[in-house]
């Protein structure tokens, strides 16, 4: 079934061009390199620090020409050398206090990253991530006032048919009908001729977003929804049919299914906070019992 709002594939989202990869890896070049190793093949040296072939991420970039790959490696090496030279100058000229402050920041960042990774691993391994429907319902009932709608939402059927399609009058009759066999006929017809056929019978969508697809201006959405279960419009190329099956108006409580995912995420976040707090307390208590730390007064 065609969808009103296009979904983009993950492959398209993750497609990165070679220049973007080049820029990213060049920016990270200053973090590579180490002391001399007998087991590795160096490709560059600055002072007593070496850059090795396996340190160059360009070796793992696939799908590019040999010429581009060579340029990438050459640019990476040059960038690494420049960064190492700048770092050496900074070591000489920066005041000791600033260098000590940098070391503290690096150590703090490392410690925070270690703690974060540790917490996330434990959350994945040990925290219950299932949220029962009854839990969501109880949360919703207690917090219902927080979920008043800021906009109108609908469950609807949306159809866009070229004016050149045959038997549009039949489609007009079918989309207004409550008969299952008429819906089957409409569905078959739309698969053949419609540009869009979106059935949001079990999904709430914003009415203003739906109206963006229809050449129709509605000044008072709330009044219109109360008195118009069917919307028809036409432009120079298409006929538009909209059937409003259900609606909720601005200011009403949002349907629980409309906010269920949001509530589920809130509940999980609260669990994470509690889980991490208990983890910290347990670790602290164990260390205290084992006398692994002291507080000097």
Asked whether the whole model's pTM tops 0.85, one would answer no
**Phi, psi values for residue 237, rounded to 5°:** -125, -25
pLDDT at 2 over 70: no
- pLDDT at position 229: 96
pLDDT at 42 over 50: yes
Q: What is the pLDDT of residues 232-254, one digit of tens each?
A: 999 999 999 999 999 999 999 99
Strand, coil or helix: what is 92? helix
- pLDDT at position 222: 96
- Whether 233 and 187 have beta carbons less than 8 Å apart is answered as no
pLDDT band at residue 123 under the 50/70/90 scheme? very high
Q: What is the CA radius of gyration of the chain?
A: 31
pLDDT band at residue 61 under the 50/70/90 scheme? low
Nearest to 238 by CA among 199, 205, 190: 190
The domain defined by 149-248 folds into: Chitinase A; domain 3 (3.10.50)
- pLDDT at position 63: 63
Domain boundaries along the sequence of the chain: 1-93, 127-143+255-289, 149-248
pLDDT at 8 over 70: no
Give how far the C-alpha of residue 205 lies from the chain's centroid of Cα atoms, to the nearest Å. 19
- pLDDT at position 167: 95
- pLDDT at position 236: 95
- Per-residue burial over 252-287, b if 16 or more Cβ lie within 10 Å, else e, is eebbbebbbeebbeebbeeeeeebbeebeeeeeeee
pLDDT at 111 over 80: yes
Q: Distance of CA 59 to CAs 25, 26, 56, 130, 187, Å?
A: 11, 13, 6, 42, 52
Q: How far apart are CA 74 and CA 168, in angstroms?
A: 64
Largest distance between two CA atoms of the chain: 89
Strand, coil or helix: what is 11? helix
pLDDT band at residue 96 under the 50/70/90 scheme? very high
DSSP 21-66: HHHHHHHTGGG--BS--TTS-EEEEETTEEEEGGG-GGGG--SS-H
- pLDDT at position 17: 43
pLDDT at 60 over 60: no
- Around Cβ 215, how many Cβ atoms within 10 Å? 12
> Exposed (0-12), middle (13-18) or buried (19+): which is 202, by Cβ within 10 Å?
exposed
Q: What is the pLDDT of residues 144-174, one digit of tens each?
A: 889 999 999 999 999 999 999 999 999 999 9
Q: What is the pLDDT of residues 14-26, one digit of tens each?
A: 333 444 444 444 4
DSSP 196-249: EEEE-TT--EEHHHHHTTSS---S-HHHHHHH-SEEEEE-SSEEEEEEEEEEE-
Strand, coil or helix: what is 158? strand
- pLDDT at position 70: 81
């Amino acid at each position: 079934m065609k969808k009103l709002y296009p979904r983009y594939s993950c492959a398209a989202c993750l497609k990165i061009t070679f220049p973007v990869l080049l820029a990213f890896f060049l920016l990270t070049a200053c973090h590579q390199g180490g002391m001399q190793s007998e087991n590795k093949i160096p490709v560059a040296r600055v002072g007593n620090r070496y850059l090795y072939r396996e340190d160059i991420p360009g070796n793992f970039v696939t799908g590019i020409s040999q010429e581009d790959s060579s340029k990438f490696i050459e640019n990476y090496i040059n960038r690494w050398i420049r960064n190492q030279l700048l770092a050496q100058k900074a070591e000489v000229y920066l005041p000791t206090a600033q260098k000590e402050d940098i070391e503290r920041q690096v150590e703090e960042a490392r410690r925070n990253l270690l703690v974060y990774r540790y917490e996330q691993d434990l959350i994945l391994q040990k925290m219950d991530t299932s949220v029962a429907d009854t839990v969501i319902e109880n949360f919703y009932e207690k917090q219902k006032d927080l979920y008043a709608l800021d906009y109108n939402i609908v469950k609807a059927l949306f159809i866009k048919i070229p004016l050149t399609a045959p038997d549009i009058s039949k489609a007009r009759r079918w989309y207004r009908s409550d008969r299952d066999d008429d819906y089957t006929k409409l569905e078959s017809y739309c698969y053949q001729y419609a540009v869009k056929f979106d059935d949001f019978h079990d999904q709430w969508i914003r009415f203003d977003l739906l109206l963006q697809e229809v050449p129709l201006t509605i000044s008072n959405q709330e009044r219109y929804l109360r008195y118009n279960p069917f919307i028809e419009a036409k432009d120079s190329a298409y006929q538009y049919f909209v059937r409003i099956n259900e609606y909720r108006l601005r200011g009403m409580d949002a349907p629980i299914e409309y906010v269920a995912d949001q509530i589920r995420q809130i509940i999980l976040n609260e669990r994470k906070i509690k889980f991490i707090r208990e983890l910290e307390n347990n670790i602290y208590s164990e260390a205290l019992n084992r006398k692994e730390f002291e507080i000097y007064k």
